[in-house]
Amino acid sequence: MPAGGKLVIKAEEVNVLDQQIPSLKPGHYIKLIIQDTGIGIPKEHINRIFDPYFTTKQKGSGLGLTVVYSIIKNHEGYITVDSELGKGTTFEIYLPAVPKKEKKILEPARLKILVMDDEEIVLEVIQEMLKILGHEAIGVRDGKQAIEVYKEAKEQGSPFDVVILDLTVPTGMGGEETVRELLKIDPDVKAIVSSGYSNDPIMSEYEKYGFKAVVPKPYGMDELKEVLRKVISS
Ligand SMILES: Nc1ncnc2c1ncn2[C@@H]1O[C@H](COP(=O)(O)OP(=O)(O)OP(=O)(O)O)[C@@H](O)[C@H]1O
Ligand SMILES: [Mg+2]
């Protein structure tokens, strides 16, 4: 404002009815009010202020309001101006209000997960990844232990939500036999089969064997997250 003055900016949510503002679809809008007590705009200028290169300033580009108009139009909004010479100017801007999205994007809650793998280091890494993802992880080295621990947890009233079973355990009971036993204890067991041998027929026909999902080794956090989401929503 060349001669000084006061600038007031307000925002409110408004409901625009059908035909209330001809160029706006009915709905919720954010209305911005930008009001100044500056020099005002002469009547003969008011229809030109949004035109490119229209300026009354010494060093103005005349593009300011053109850009404003374009941005608002691209957002399916609307701008009006009301001005009185010597008194001040009020711009009103309408922008469509976006409803707040419900943040329910199926982020699984804290799950209790049993992991079976004969390789100590693999077991540790998976448990660590599960903990980072916010879950509780308990590791066992073979199928026999897996069945014991699963059964015990169920009997104690704090069952496992998911079981991740390694397919091949050279020194003990592997995933195939384990899931068969787990199904006897709990027909709803959510078992994931994991293996480095991705061409094993069990990996492609896992459902036939009683698994709910498959995760080929090696896998990272993203794959783990995805497969858990899959079994939980199954
Ligand atoms: N709040 C206001 N009060 C009085 N006149 C205004 C007001 N806003 C815009 N104008 C008039 O509209 C003209 C065009 O404005 P616009 O923002 O497009 O360009 P500019 O301000 O002149 O240049 P620039 O944006 O590059 O500084 C201004 O030169 C001025 O004459
Ligand atoms: Mg400007």
Does the C-beta of 86 come closer than 6 Å to ligand 1?
Answer: no
Nearest CA to ligand 1 atom 20: 62
Our measurement of the distance from residue 1's CA atom to the centroid of its chain's CA atoms, rounded to an integer in Å, reads: 43
Q: Is the peptide bond between 218 and the residue preceding it cis, with omega within 30 degrees of 0?
A: yes
| Burial (Cβ within 10 Å: 0-12, 13-18, ≥19) of residue 81 | middle
List the domain boundaries for the chain.
7-96, 112-233
CA distance 173 to 160: 19
Task: Give ∠ CA 66-70-71 in degrees, rounded to 5.
Answer: 120
Do residues 167 and 175 make contact, with C-beta atoms less than 8 angstroms apart? yes
In eight-state DSSP terms, residue 40 is -
For 7-96, which CATH class?
alpha beta
CA of 25 to the centre of ligand 1 (A): 28
pLDDT in tens, the chain (234 residues): 988 999 999 999 999 999 999 999 999 999 999 999 999 999 999 999 999 999 999 999 999 999 999 999 999 999 999 999 999 999 999 999 987 766 555 555 899 999 999 999 999 999 999 999 999 999 999 999 999 999 999 999 999 999 999 999 999 999 999 999 999 999 999 999 999 888 899 999 999 999 999 999 999 999 999 999 999 987
Check if CATH label 3.10.129.10 holds for domain 112-233. no
| Residue 165 tokens, joined | 């079973």
pLDDT tens-digit series, residues 171-218: 999 999 999 999 999 999 999 999 988 889 999 999 999 999 999 999
Parallel, antiparallel, or unpaired: how do β-strands 213-216 and 191-195 relate? parallel
Per CATH, 7-96 and 112-233 having the same topology is answered no
CA of 49 to the centre of ligand 1 (A): 7
Does the C-beta of 38 come closer than 6 Å to ligand 1?
Answer: yes
CA distance 116 to 21: 65
